[in-house]
Structure 1
Amino acid sequence: MPVDSRPAPRSLALPGSKSITARALFLAAAADGVTTLVRPLRSDDTEGFAEGLVRLGYRVGRTPDTWQVDGRPQGPAVAEADVYCRDGATTARFLPTLAAAGHGTYRFDASPQMRRRPLAPLSRALRDLGVDLRHEEAEGHHPLTVTAAGVEGGEVTLDAGQSSQYLTALLLLGPLTRRGLRIRVTDLVSVPYVEITVAMMREFGVEVAREGDVYVVPPGGYRATTYAIEPDASTASYFFAAAALTPGAEVTVPGLGTGALQGDLGFVDVLRRMGAEVSVGAEATTVRGPSRLHGLTVNMRDISDTMPTLAAIAPFATSPVRIEDVANTRVKECDRLEACAENLRALGAQVATGPDWIEIHPAPALTPTEIKSYGDHRMVMSFAVTGLRVPGISFDDPGCVRKTFPGFHEAFAEFRQGL
């Protein structure tokens, strides 16, 4: 009887979603009552968000599997606070917006990496709503001070072409204003992240309406609830990609199925187009590796956080991989588009880039090198997948994965042993 040499199917329990955890912390802090968050992500970003809430006077009780937050619809419990947002973009953009709904003087600063990332469209919109917001150094960047006196609400115009987080911040603020908000959006990237926000607001008692390019958010506040955090789809992309890169390998991620909130689960559709076998069920998603991966041209505007994952496996496709409409990746933790290109070239791949695209040619025989992370967790986790085919790859800052997945290296090492 022949022996089945295929790798055994794997089922992975992954950490909770960073995006959902951050939104849930804001909603819990703003809600009337005590909210319990089940299986939140515990990472540098989310711990920084929770710490920021505590600095603002909110009570956050943390156990290994749940966090409890005492909501304060009236805003922060302290009249003055100094909040350090670490590297977290959601922390640095959402907390000043939350503080604006209260009464007091609140200063926010962040890491050098986060200080470089843009904030101007959100700052402009908050000022248009009457918020007293002052940037201390470079205009449109941290550090900043909010002198809060509540927010009346009304109409505002927003450019969210650099980051959907600007729109999310205003949507989350809307129910805390006296009149509600009508937000006219002139440009928008990463639409699925906005859909996450709207769906979560509904769970906390607020229904957002959309009239063309205008989002309508009613006043009235949020109600507390118990909210379970689904696994992080961006994190899952590394394991799905690893399976796709390994003929016959199979991985299943429970908790990410047809009802998942996160648009980044759409990454498996890209893998399907490249030849992987993909099954998305009600409660889980499974990817199985094909005998070979095919190249493709793909627009990743809405799932741009998974662009580095695709770039990292692109050299092993049978034809070029061209990723388009990802200009916003240039203003993430680093210029991800150029960082991917530089690292791939160092490995020996032929790569071309433009303002919003990258094209990677087949290069089955790569040379191991030290990957430059630029302090960006996604560079390290993506090129860890490349390491399945290129033994000897190392990283200049492997520890930067603590931002979203502190145990990534251990989890991935265990995972690859079964491939």
Structure 2
Amino acid sequence: MTIQKNSSIYGTANLLPASKSISNRVLIINALAGNASQLHNLSDANDTQLMLRLVNSKDRIIDVEDAGTTMRFLTAYFSITNQRKVLTGTQRMKERPIGILVDALRTLGADIDYQEKEGYPPLTINGFNGQKTTSLKIRGDISSQFISAIMMVAPVLPQGIKLELEGKIGSRPYIEMTASLMAQFGVKTKFVGNLITVTPQTYTPTEFTVESDWSAASYWFAITALAEKAEVLLPRISLHSLQGDRAIVDIMKTLGVEAEIEGSQLKLSKGSITKELRWDFTHCPDLAQTVAVVCAAKGVKGSFTGLESLRIKETDRITALQNELKKIGADLIEESSQWTLVPTDKLPTRVTFATYKDHRMAMAFAPLATLMDVDIENPGVVKKSYPNYWNDLKAVGFHLTE
């Protein structure tokens, strides 16, 4: 797909999706509540549509495709609810580690086998042999989805659970989001320090409306930051959000974007910019690609930490970023657990970007069309989280051709 350069952007992202993170959690919780809730504004992202279809599926073989959240949440859900399933996915899914979650579920009493490589999908779930322990330990710096998966099923365990997170906790806002959503369906959790306690409880069906997705909104912050002139409206989004990626407001304020509530929408406009950004992405790793691209193109030196989890996403996002940033004359230099973003001093007039089967690579690099003609390989990857991204770009003035 070719996006022609347009440096003046005005309009509304009317098709901004609902939060994928909230939708996926709510679907698991609702299933545990007997599927009796009224859920509104569920995400139309492929990951959520998969979850919607698969969580109550009677099929023996469950194909989660490339949806990591769906794989992790369903592994815990099917195990603890004593269902016999085979969980599989794409080749990339078979390369994404799940051993820490499986070990934890086995400790609780789940019977799970690996079909191919130890520690990786596909999995055979043979049911639940009764709760064997009330205490679990799990690393705090691995995917928060492992932790959330266990938390959501914990209330239906006969004895509940005490879950100790060892070491540094990554993506803490996502764990807090899970606890908050559980509370809205009648289940109380205690999260003090590194210990999460969930007693045996019953989920209560309720009526729930999902808010817009802050991860998807981040690309509009990038477009506003990079455009010469811009004013963008984002619908159905709250500054008081459960989502950790709301941090994009604070990050982009230093990169030249002002955000203010206007009626029921969030208005983005041009502001002043800094020359250097230091940020820890431990709790918002999905923003890293977006921010790196903006810094690279705006001449802002970046000092980043907390990018470790990017290695095990839809692709190795650190390597992918390094490869694609070089095409515009920028670099992302890794030294131990520190990354330095060296911005470009001269942008090209046209670049073709690879997407690595990763929706966030496509959406993070597309905003460069405010500065140059951009070609995006395999643009269909955006269906994973923001299926109408390209339509929203057209609506604000970009000209796209395939």
Using structure 1 for the length normalisation, give the TM-score: 0.87
Alignment of 1:326-365 (within 5 A): 326-365=307-346
Change (3 A) 1:257 1:364: farther
**Could you tell me which amino acid in structure 1 is paired with residue 255 of structure 2?**
M
Other structure's SS at 2:238 match: coil
Instruction: Find the aligned partners of 1:9 and 1:394 in 2 and give their Cα distance.
Output: 23
Q: Hey, what does 2:367 align to over in structure 1?
A: 385
Report if aligned partners of 1:162, 1:331 keep a CA contact under 8 Å in 2: no
Alignment of 1:259-274 (within 5 A): 259-274=240-255
Q: Hey, what does 2:210 align to over in structure 1?
A: 229
Other structure's SS at 2:84 match: strand
What is the deviation of 1:416? 4.1
Change (3 A) 1:254 1:104: closer
**Could you tell me which amino acid in structure 1 is paired with residue 26 of structure 2?**
A
Other structure's SS at 1:379 match: helix
Report if aligned partners of 2:11, 2:396 keep a CA contact under 8 Å in 1: no
Q: Hey, what does 1:301 align to over in structure 2?
A: 282
Q: Hey, what does 1:203 align to over in structure 2?
A: 184
What is the deviation of 1:94? 0.6
What is the deviation of 1:42? 1.5
Report if aligned partners of 1:106, 1:146 keep a CA contact under 8 Å in 2: yes
Change (3 A) 1:380 1:6: closer
What is the deviation of 1:240? 1.4
Q: Find the partner of 1:213 among 183, 190, 194.
A: 194
**Could you tell me which amino acid in structure 2 is paired with residue 168 of structure 1?**
S
Instruction: Find the aligned partners of 1:343 and 1:151 in 2 and give their Cα distance.
Output: 49
Q: Hey, what does 2:137 align to over in structure 1?
A: 157
Whether 1:169 aligns to 2:149 is yes
CA deviations on 1:226-283 (whole Å, 9 max, x unpaired) are 1101111000000111112224422232332232111101111001123432336895
Change (3 A) 1:149 1:289: same
Q: CA-atom RMSD, angstroms? A: 2.2
Whether 1:49 aligns to 2:39 is no
Gaps of 5+ in 1: 58-79
Change (3 A) 1:351 1:93: closer
Gaps of 5+ in 2: 1-6
**Could you tell me which amino acid in structure 1 is paired with residue 144 of structure 2?**
S
What is the deviation of 1:294? 3.1
CA deviations on 1:89-132 (whole Å, 9 max, x unpaired) are 11100112111122342111111111111111111111111211
Q: Hey, what does 2:4 align to over in structure 1?
A: none
Report if aligned partners of 1:247, 1:291 keep a CA contact under 8 Å in 2: no
Report if aligned partners of 1:160, 1:166 keep a CA contact under 8 Å in 2: no
| Percent identity for Structure 1 against Structure 2 | 27
Instruction: Find the aligned partners of 2:199 and 2:341 in 1 and give their Cα distance.
Output: 46
Alignment of 1:11-410 (within 5 A): 12-32=14-34, 34-55=36-57, 57=58, 81-149=60-128, 151-152=130-131, 154-187=134-167, 188-279=169-260, 284-290=265-271, 292=273, 294-367=275-348, 368-391=350-373, 393-410=374-391
Other structure's SS at 1:387 match: helix
Q: Hey, what does 2:3 align to over in structure 1?
A: none
Instruction: Find the aligned partners of 1:42 and 1:258 in 2 and give their Cα distance.
Output: 22
Other structure's SS at 1:369 match: strand
Other structure's SS at 2:55 match: helix
Report if aligned partners of 1:82, 1:108 keep a CA contact under 8 Å in 2: yes
Aligned residues: 390
Change (3 A) 1:242 1:150: farther
Q: Hey, what does 1:60 align to over in structure 2?
A: none
Report if aligned partners of 2:87, 2:124 keep a CA contact under 8 Å in 1: yes
Other structure's SS at 2:396 match: helix
**Higher RCO (C-alpha 8 Å, min separation 6):** 2
Instruction: Find the aligned partners of 2:9 and 2:91 in 1 and give their Cα distance.
Output: 43
Instruction: Find the aligned partners of 2:46 and 2:284 in 1 and give their Cα distance.
Output: 22
CA deviations on 1:384-417 (whole Å, 9 max, x unpaired) are 01222121x2122111111111221121232244
**Could you tell me which amino acid in structure 1 is paired with residue 214 of structure 2?**
A
Change (3 A) 1:282 1:357: farther
**Could you tell me which amino acid in structure 2 is paired with residue 271 of structure 1?**
M
Report if aligned partners of 2:254, 2:273 keep a CA contact under 8 Å in 1: no
Report if aligned partners of 1:248, 1:291 keep a CA contact under 8 Å in 2: no
Change (3 A) 1:355 1:119: farther
